């Protein structure tokens, strides 16, 4: 059997696969995203580890006597963790959607221009890349900086706890902004110019490489025996692309997690400025990656702040009574700034058109619609770059909502497909990747979930959404110069 873990924004998920790719066990352990200040996004990595141990124990109990052949971990990328010389955390993680380092982004751009960074990494200066966050820590938390001896990502941290291995996964390095993709090495020139050369960077491993074998006593006590191979792991959104079987140009998957991802497969390293680019888990392929700072986390914020006694299904039922377009209400879902395609850490969540006749159900539906508008923006960018989006799939938590699926199909004016069983996602993908590394499958026959549902757009709703999508796009253009003025208030 193959065990896959995914460390997400709101919880750790586990999937146990049998030899045919069938799901034998799946579960989730929640954890908290901390936003102690506007634009900040932090988490406690020790909570991730506790979630992994609890899920390991549950999977062992569910499949007593089964032999685990390999383990894979996927996670949010590129989260930033700093550890001391003993391997202990020196502060909470700074998440990939954290937007605190606005001044440092501008400083990096002056010292190492966007054009130069794009040529080396396929990205530009934004809230996702790591040098501005490292500089922020050095400037604002010098006591933390002095203790830091090692830098890590999220899946690398869990794999290190399991195996003791110290490394960086390939997509974490690429999305960090510090990797020279054409030369296949760390960008020493960038590190020198930004005065970051003193922080040692680890060796790089590809997702299917075996990082080590399980040695941790806590993991063994939880049911993971010593000696199980653990792969280097995957960025969560790339594992989701693998789980969806995305290996043909023209296929796209929308990942409705705490953050939102748009994944589109290409067969050459051809970056698009508005987006990120990643290595596919399948060697030789690449993924154009759009990553929204907030997606499901905005819906979760609404529920937590205003309707904590209700389930998401109950919120959906209330919102279904609201007509498409929420009676002229629009939400820009930039509650943690925005990464792609805007690259604007100063952007704010914005509600436009609110009247005394609107209800909480209107606002909730407008949030779901706003996220769908943001996904459409990404697909428009992909097609403007000369690609053609042929098929669209949905995965992760938001894909379980029939209302959100219907809204998305109508906003996109495209059929949207959902996978059978709802298990296609990052944990499934990283388990498949571990299975390939463990010799259970190869790249030609790895298991791919079947499509169970195809949601067609509603023509009347699509017509409403077309006009409001244009307002959505124009609203950001009008407000973008005002957002920085709110930062100090």
pLDDT digits (tens, 9 = 90+) for 205-222: 999 999 999 999 999 999
Task: Give the residue with greater pLDDT, 22 vs 319.
Answer: 319
Distance CA 301, CA 49 (A): 24
Share of the chain above pLDDT 90, in %: 80
Identify the band that residue 26 occupies on the pLDDT scale cut at 50, 70 and 90: very high
Q: What is the pLDDT of residue 451?
A: 84
- 349 in helix, strand or coil? coil
DSSP state of 79: -
Q: What is the pLDDT of residue 66?
A: 78
Residue labelled with tokens 């924004």: 9
Beta-sheet strands, E only, within 313-435 = 330-332, 350-352, 391-395, 416-419
Residue labelled with tokens 């039922």: 317
Residue 481 has pLDDT above 80, yes or no: yes
Q: What is the pLDDT of residue 424?
A: 58
Q: Show Cβ contacts of residue 76 under 8 Å, excluding neighbours closer than 6 positions.
A: 7, 8, 9, 95, 96, 154, 236, 259
| pTM as predicted | 0.84
Q: What is the pLDDT of residue 245?
A: 80
Check: CB of residue 282 under 8 Å from CB of residue 247: yes
* Share of the chain residues as helix, strand and coil, in percent rounded to the nearest 5: 40, 20, 40
Check: CB of residue 190 under 8 Å from CB of residue 120: yes
User: How crowded is the C-beta side of 75, counted as CA atoms within 13 Å?
Assistant: 30
Check: CB of residue 278 under 8 Å from CB of residue 285: no
Mean pLDDT of 145-155: 96
Residue 233 has pLDDT above 60, yes or no: yes
At 412-467, the pLDDT tens digits run 999 999 877 655 588 999 999 999 999 999 998 898 878 888 999 999 999 999 99
Highest mean pLDDT among 55-64, 70-79, 424-433: 70-79
Q: What is the pLDDT of residue 9?
A: 84
Distance CA 237, CA 259 (A): 10
Distance CA 101, CA 132 (A): 6
Residue 298 has pLDDT above 80, yes or no: yes
At 453-469, the pLDDT tens digits run 899 999 999 999 999 99
DSSP alpha helices (H): ranges in 63-153? 102-111, 114-121, 131-140, 142-147
Check: CB of residue 207 under 8 Å from CB of residue 233: yes
Distance CA 52, CA 216 (A): 12
DSSP state of 466: H
Q: Residues, the chain, total?
A: 489
Mean pLDDT of 78-100: 94
Identify the band that residue 139 occupies on the pLDDT scale cut at 50, 70 and 90: very high
Residue 191 has pLDDT above 90, yes or no: yes
DSSP string for 10-62: SEEEEEEE-TTS-EEEEEEEE-PPB-SSTT--EE-HHHHHHHHHHHHHHHHHH
Average pLDDT, the chain: 94
Q: What is the pLDDT of residue 63?
A: 84
Identify the band that residue 109 occupies on the pLDDT scale cut at 50, 70 and 90: very high
Instruction: Tell me the β-bridge partners of 350.
Output: 332
At 313-323, the pLDDT tens digits run 999 999 999 99
**What are the domain boundaries of the chain?**
2-236
For Cα atoms 432, 434, 438, give the angle at the middle one, nearest 5 degrees. 115
At residue 83, φ and ψ (nearest 5 deg) are -125, 155
Instruction: Tell me the β-bridge partners of 392.
Output: 252
Q: How far is residue 208 CA from its own chain's centroid?
A: 19
- 395 in helix, strand or coil? strand
Q: What is the pLDDT of residue 64?
A: 79
User: How crowded is the C-beta side of 272, counted as CA atoms within 13 Å?
Assistant: 24
Residue labelled with tokens 């922020």: 136
Q: Which helix H or strand E contains 192, and what residues bound it?
A: helix 188-193
At 266-286, the pLDDT tens digits run 988 889 999 989 999 999 899
> Hey, what are 445's tokens?
């026959």
Q: Which helix H or strand E contains 235, and what residues bound it?
A: strand 234-235
At 352-408, the pLDDT tens digits run 999 999 999 999 999 999 999 999 999 999 999 999 999 999 887 888 999 999 999
User: How crowded is the C-beta side of 204, counted as CA atoms within 13 Å?
Assistant: 17
At 328-364, the pLDDT tens digits run 999 999 998 998 999 998 999 999 999 999 999 999 9
Mean pLDDT of 83-101: 94
At 157-168, the pLDDT tens digits run 999 999 999 999
Mean pLDDT of 116-135: 94
Distance CA 33, CA 51 (A): 14
Check: CB of residue 169 under 8 Å from CB of residue 159: no
Q: What is the pLDDT of residue 420?
A: 74
Identify the band that residue 250 occupies on the pLDDT scale cut at 50, 70 and 90: confident
Closest CA to 334 of 484, 462, 461, 465: 484
Distance CA 163, CA 171 (A): 20
> Hey, what are 354's tokens?
């609110």
Start-to-end C-alpha separation, the chain: 54
- 96 in helix, strand or coil? coil
Q: What is the pLDDT of residue 397?
A: 83
Q: Is the backbone peptide bond immediately before 98 cis, with ω within 30 degrees of 0?
A: no
Tell how strand 330-332 and strand 350-352 pair up: antiparallel
Closest CA to 153 of 77, 205, 41, 211: 77
- 339 in helix, strand or coil? coil
Q: What is the pLDDT of residue 154?
A: 97
Q: What is the pLDDT of residue 449?
A: 75
What CATH number labels 2-236?
Answer: 3.30.420.40
> Hey, what are 467's tokens?
């006009």
Q: What is the pLDDT of residue 159?
A: 98
Mean pLDDT of 119-130: 92
């Amino acid at each position: 059997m193959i065990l896959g873990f995914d460390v997400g924004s709101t919880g750790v998920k586990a999937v146990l696969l049998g030899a045919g790719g069938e799901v034998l066990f799946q579960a989730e352990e929640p954890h908290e995203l901390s936003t102690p200040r506007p634009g900040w996004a932090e988490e406690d990595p020790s909570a991730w580890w506790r979630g992994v141990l609890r899920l390991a124990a549950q999977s062992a109990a569910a499949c007593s006597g089964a032999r685990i052949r390999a383990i894979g971990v996927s996670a949010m990328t590129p989260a930033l963790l700093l550890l001391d010389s003993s391997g202990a955390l020196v502060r909470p993680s700074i998440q990939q959607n954290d937007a605190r380092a606005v001044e440092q982004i501008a400083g990096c751009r002056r010292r190492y221009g966007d054009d130069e960074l794009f040529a080396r990494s396929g990205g530009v200066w934004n809230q996702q890349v790591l040098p501005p966050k490292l500089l922020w820590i050095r400037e604002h938390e010098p006591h933390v900086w002095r203790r830091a001896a090692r830098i890590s990502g999220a899946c690398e941290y869990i794999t290190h706890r399991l195996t003791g291995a110290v490394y960086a996964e390939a997509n974490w390095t690429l999305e960090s902004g510090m990797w020279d993709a054409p030369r296949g090495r760390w960008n020493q020139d960038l590190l020198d110019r930004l005065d970051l050369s003193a922080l040692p960077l680890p060796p790089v491993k590809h997702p299917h490489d075996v990082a080590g074998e399980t040695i941790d006593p806590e993991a063994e006590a939880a049911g993971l025996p010593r000696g199980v191979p653990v792969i280097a792991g995957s960025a969560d959104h790339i594992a989701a692309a693998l789980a969806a079987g995305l290996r043909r140009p023209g296929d796209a998957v929308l990942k409705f997690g705490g953050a939102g991802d748009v994944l589109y497969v290409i067969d050459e390293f051809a970056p698009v400025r508005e987006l990120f680019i990643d290595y596919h888990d399948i060697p030789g392929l690449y993924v154009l990656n759009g990553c929204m700072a907030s997606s499901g986390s905005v819906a979760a914020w609404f529920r937590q702040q205003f309707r904590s006694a209700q389930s998401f299904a109950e919120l959906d039922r209330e919102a279904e009574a609201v007509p498409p377009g929420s009676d002229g209400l629009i939400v820009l879902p930039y509650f943690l700034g925005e990464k792609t395609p805007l690259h604007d850490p100063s952007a704010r969540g914005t509600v436009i058109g609110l009247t005394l006749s609107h209800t909480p159900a209107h606002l909730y539906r407008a949030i779901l619609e706003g996220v769908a508008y943001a996904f459409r923006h990404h697909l428009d960018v992909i097609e403007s770059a000369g690609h053609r989006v042929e098929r669209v799939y949905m995965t992760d938590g938001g894909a379980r909502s029939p209302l959100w699926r219907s809204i998305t199909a109508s906003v996109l004016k495209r059929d949207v497909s959902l996978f059978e069983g709802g298990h296609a996602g990052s944990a499934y993908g990283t388990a498949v990747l571990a299975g390939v590394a463990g010799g259970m499958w190869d790249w030609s026959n790895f298991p791919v979930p079947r499509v169970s549902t195809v949601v067609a757009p509603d023509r009347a709703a699509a017509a409403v959404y077309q006009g409001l999508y244009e307002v959505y796009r124009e609203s950001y253009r009008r407000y973008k110069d005002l957002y920085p003025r709110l930062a100090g208030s």
